[in-house]
Amino acid sequence: MAYSDKVIDHAENPRNVGTLDKDDPTVGTGLVGAPACGDVMRLQIKVSDDGVIEDAKFKTFGCGSAIASSSLATEWIKGKKVEEAESIKNSDIVNELNLPPVKIHCSVLAEDAIKSAIADYRAKQAAKRAAE
Ligand code: FES
Ligand code: FES
Catalytic residue flag (residue 37) = yes
102 lines ligand 2 (CB under 6 A): no
Please provide the size of the chain in residues.
132
Q: Does the annotation mark 106 as catalytic?
A: yes
Establish whether residue 37 lines the binding site of ligand 1, counting it when its CB lies within 6 angstroms of any ligand atom.
yes
The architecture in CATH of the region 5-127 reads Alpha-Beta Complex (3.90)
Could you report the average pLDDT of every consecutive run of 10 residues in the chain (132 residues)?
87 96 96 88 97 97 95 98 98 97 94 98 94 88
Domain boundaries, the chain: 5-127
Spot the catalytic one: 8, 37, 123, 127. 37
Q: Kindly state the helix (H) or strand (E) to which residue 91 belongs, with its residue range.
A: helix 90-97
Q: In what order do the strands lie in the sheet with 27-33?
A: 27-33, 40-47, 53-61
Q: What is this model's ipTM?
A: 0.75
